[in-house]
Structures are given as structure tokens and as C-alpha cells.
Amino acid sequence: MAALDPGKLDARERNALETLLKRLADDEFVLAERYTEWQVRAPTLESDLALANNAQDELGHARLWYDVLEDLGFEEQALIYERDPADFRHATLVERPFEEGDWADAVLRSYLYDAAEKLRLEALEDSAYPKIADRVGKIRSEEEYHLEHAQNWVERLADGDEGHERLQDALDRLFPYALTLFEPVDPDVEDDIVELGLRDATLEELGEEWLSIVVPSLESLDLEPPVSAQVDDDTFEITEDMLPEERGRDGGHTDAWFDLHDELTHTYRDLGRSETTKIMDKPE
């Protein structure tokens, strides 16, 4: 597929690119915001540092994606601090508040998310938008650590009675929201994303592949997803009845997001800012 020239994008290409990048950036940004709530509250110093490190990574990735959006004329403050919270396109999985003090929630959420992130990044490696393809490599190497970290914790928690119970509770709560990772912002635009070669797998393909990895892996630890997505031995499918009401991608969010957004933009508004503080020039 021919590479898209950033300087010569037509309306359809711009729209597809904007949609794809907002999905990517908003997921990483909001997940990082939630992760930071664990800072100084995680069960051990080591787990605290590991999750804080992952949050830092996700913020860095969000910044890389928001920076690509600037190619389309967006500015950072408009994307983050001045955007209507209902225009954020992240999946509702990443905005849900943690059950208080429930480390299993953080660990399982990370596992569900990072498993999807891996597939999504693989599908972006040969993106027709060169800047996307360039940035995927460095993001992937950090994401590998996140997935290993989450997998390790899930396996260890599943090994004990209380840990297993907490994981199952978290799975019951989070699984439907995790499915929204594969929901469309707008079905026509999602088709364009694939047709233009921005990403080489459809949302359906990504969702089915994710299920075929995550479900057997959880079942091997005696963890049962609250809804069965299995059609037969090795076929999985996301159907309408499995999804929660709020899907994020379409702008429908849970109340928790509006509270979080209010909190994270509070200082910006309070200080009457009109631009963001930049520590580094362009993100690398």
C-alpha cells in the first residue's frame, strides 16, 4: 500500500487518521491516569515502582500519538485540557475506577489491556502513515515489559484462594468493558482505517484474536469470563449482548470518566492556563 503523504491528505484520510490516533492516544493517556492512583499505595515498593514505570511509559506513548495528531493541526492543550470529555475516544476499560485497594483489579486490567495493545501495535507496524510505523517499534519494546509484568502477577495471584477470588471478581467487572477496546468510533471510518492501510487488521479480527488468546489463558488459571465469547473450539466472537452500555469509542462514557477528567484538568483551569507546560521539545 502506498504511503500517505502528510502534506497531501484528503478529508477521508484525515478523518481516518484522526480517529485512529485518538483511539490510540486516549487509551494510553487515560490508563496512565488511572495507574498513577496506585502511586505510594501499591502492595510493595517494587510493585509500586513497576506500575509507576508502566504509567510513565503509557504517558510517553500517549504523547507520541498526540504529537502525530499535531500533523493534522491539533494542539496539545486542545487535545487534552480543552477537549470536551465526551469527545475522548478511549475504551471504557481504562476509565473505570479501581475497586479501592484491589491490586487484582489493577493487575487484571493491565493484562486485558496489554494483550490487546500487543495485537494492535503488530497491526500498525506497516502502517501507510510513516510516522505511525516509525513509532510502533519503540512503543512495542516497552509494552512487552507491561504484558510480562501483568501476566506474572495474574499467575501468582491466581495461585492463592483470596487472590483467585479477587481476580474472578475483577474479571466479572472488567471483561465487558475490555470488549469495548474493539468497538468502532464510527463503522465507516473504521473501514477506511483498514482500506487506507493505516492499520492492517479490522477491529473484528483484532477482537477475535484477543479473545482466542485471553480466554484460554484465563481459563487455564480457572478464571471464567462472565460471558462466553466462544463459538466453537477455536472460534471466538464479540456480540452485541456482551457489551456494556458505555463503549467509550462512540463518546459514551461512564460517570467515572467525567469525574476523572474534571480532576485532571482542574489545575489547568484553576491557573487560567491556555497552553501546556513542555519539558521536552518534540517527543521521541
The nearest distance, CB 59 to another protein, in angstroms, is: 15
Smaller CB distance to another protein: residue 3 or 49? Answer: 49
The nearest distance, CB 49 to another protein, in angstroms, is: 5
Phi/psi-derived region of residue 73, left when phi > 0, alpha when psi is between -120 and 50, beta in every other case:
left
Cell numbers placing 140? 512495542
Q: How many CB atoms lie within 10 A of CB 26?
A: 25
Cell numbers placing 219? 481459563
Question: Which residues does residue 232 pair with via DSSP β-bridges, in sequence order?
Answer: 235
The nearest distance, CB 155 to another protein, in angstroms, is: 9
Contact at 8 Å (CB) between 25 and 69?
yes
Cell numbers placing 116? 490487546
- Phi, psi of 235, rounded to the nearest 5 degrees: -115, 130
The nearest distance, CB 264 to another protein, in angstroms, is: 24
Collapsing DSSP to helix, strand or coil, 227 comes out as: coil
Smaller CB distance to another protein: residue 46 or 232? Answer: 46
Secondary structure element (H or E) that encloses residue 230, with its range = strand 230-232
The nearest distance, CB 153 to another protein, in angstroms, is: 8
Smaller CB distance to another protein: residue 53 or 202? Answer: 53
Q: Which residues bind another protein (CB under 8 A)?
A: 44-47, 49-50, 53, 145, 148-149, 152, 156
Smaller CB distance to another protein: residue 46 or 270? Answer: 46
Smaller CB distance to another protein: residue 15 or 54? Answer: 54
